[in-house]
């Protein structure tokens, strides 16, 4: 209904400039949403994956080869498993929050695209009506000249 009202009242409204969806959406983000986006961006990067793999290899080498019998987390690496589980338990919901926010942004973008398409269609129809009126006027003028 709201889109229909906008469609019908569009010729009577004056719109200054087109607003940037990304800027408009980013301006309304809370600190938690910005933090979730950063965690998702860092956690999903090759740099993080590489650094994390190096950390895991370093942990393993430190607790097996370097420290040997005095290792603070011997071979089954139970403490490391606990830390990884806690990291996954925290990181997964944060990434899901970021994905939900991105999905909301995508829905807003789709709605704005739809409204833009409606405005473009209305403008095209108005132009077609004007072209038809000009053609009709020209054809009437040509008939009057032929009779004279």
Residue 71: CB atoms within 10 A of its CB come to: 14
For residue 85, what are its two tokens? 């589980």
Q: Please state which of the ranges 21-25, 81-85, 98-102, 141-145 shows the lowest mean pLDDT.
A: 141-145
pLDDT (tens digit per residue) in 34-55: 999 999 999 889 999 999 999 9
Q: Are 108 and 29 in contact (CB under 8 A)?
A: no
Q: Are 74 and 62 in contact (CB under 8 A)?
A: no
Torsion, Cα 14 19 25 27, to 10 degrees, reads -90
pLDDT (tens digit per residue) in 107-121: 999 999 999 999 999
Question: Is the model's pTM score more than 0.75?
Answer: no
Torsion, Cα 77 82 88 89, to 10 degrees, reads 170
* Average pLDDT in the chain: 87
What is residue 102's predicted lDDT score, i.e. its pLDDT? Answer: 93
Distance in angstroms (rounded) separating the CA atoms of residues 53 and 136 = 74
Mean pLDDT (whole number) for 88-109:
93
What is residue 22's predicted lDDT score, i.e. its pLDDT? Answer: 77
Band of residue 3 on the pLDDT scale cut at 50, 70, 90 = low
**Residue closest to 112 by CA, chosen among 8, 9, 11, 22:** 22
Distance in angstroms (rounded) separating the CA atoms of residues 114 and 108 = 10
**Residue closest to 122 by CA, chosen among 4, 20, 21:** 4
Band of residue 20 on the pLDDT scale cut at 50, 70, 90 = confident
């Amino acid at each position: 209904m709201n889109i229909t009202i906008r469609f019908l009242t569009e010729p009577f409204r004056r719109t200054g400039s087109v607003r940037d969806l990304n800027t408009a959406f980013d301006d309304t983000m809370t600190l938690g949403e910005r933090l979730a986006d950063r965690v998702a961006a860092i956690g999903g990067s090759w740099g993080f994956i590489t650094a994390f793999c190096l950390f895991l290899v370093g942990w393993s080498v430190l607790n097996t080869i370097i420290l040997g019998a005095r290792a603070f987390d011997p071979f089954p690496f139970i403490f490391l498993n606990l830390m990884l589980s806690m990291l996954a338990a925290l990181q997964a919901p944060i990434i899901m929050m970021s994905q939900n926010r991105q999905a909301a942004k995508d829905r807003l973008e789709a709605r704005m695209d739809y409204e833009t398409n409606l405005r473009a269609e209305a403008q095209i129809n108005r132009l077609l009506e004007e072209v038809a009126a000009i053609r009709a006027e020209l054809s009437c003028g040509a008939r009057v000249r032929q009779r004279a």
